């Protein structure tokens, strides 16, 4: 089972330029109402703004851990209204 299949996407060991495309792919692959846990080595606030700017669909963004060494964010795909 891959990390994403387990609902956890730990990007700390992934080359920085490959992180956002992988995170967006993981989000696109979610079914409405599902979520994954993003684990990062810095605050992913720029990613949050990128989600706001690029996604036409609503998403949930919940910090579960906020540093100083590890950030964990639950990112979910909203159910259609």
Domains contained in the chain, number? 1
Compute the mean pLDDT over every residue in the chain, rounded to the nearest whole number: 90
> Is residue 68 domain-resident?
yes
Confidence class of residue 63 from pLDDT cuts 50, 70 and 90? very high
**Which residues span the domain enclosing 24?**
8-77
Question: What's the confidence (pLDDT) of residue 79?
Answer: 85
> Is residue 37 domain-resident?
yes
Question: Any idea which of 21-25, 36-40, 44-48, 53-57 has the lowest mean pLDDT?
Answer: 53-57
> Is residue 2 domain-resident?
no
User: What CATH number is attached to the domain comprising 30?
Assistant: 3.30.110.40
The verdict on pTM exceeding 0.75 is yes
Question: C-alpha angle 78/20/52, rounded to 5°?
Answer: 45
> Is residue 1 domain-resident?
no
């Amino acid at each position: 089972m891959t990390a994403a299949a387990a609902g956890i996407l730990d990007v700390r060991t992934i080359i920085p330029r490959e992180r956002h495309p992988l995170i967006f792919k993981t989000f696109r692959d979610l079914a409405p109402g599902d979520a994954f846990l993003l684990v990062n080595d810095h605050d992913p606030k720029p990613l949050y703004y990128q989600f706001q700017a690029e996604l036409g669909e609503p998403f949930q963004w919940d910090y579960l851990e906020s540093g100083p060494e590890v950030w964990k964010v639950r990112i979910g795909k909203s159910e259609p209204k």
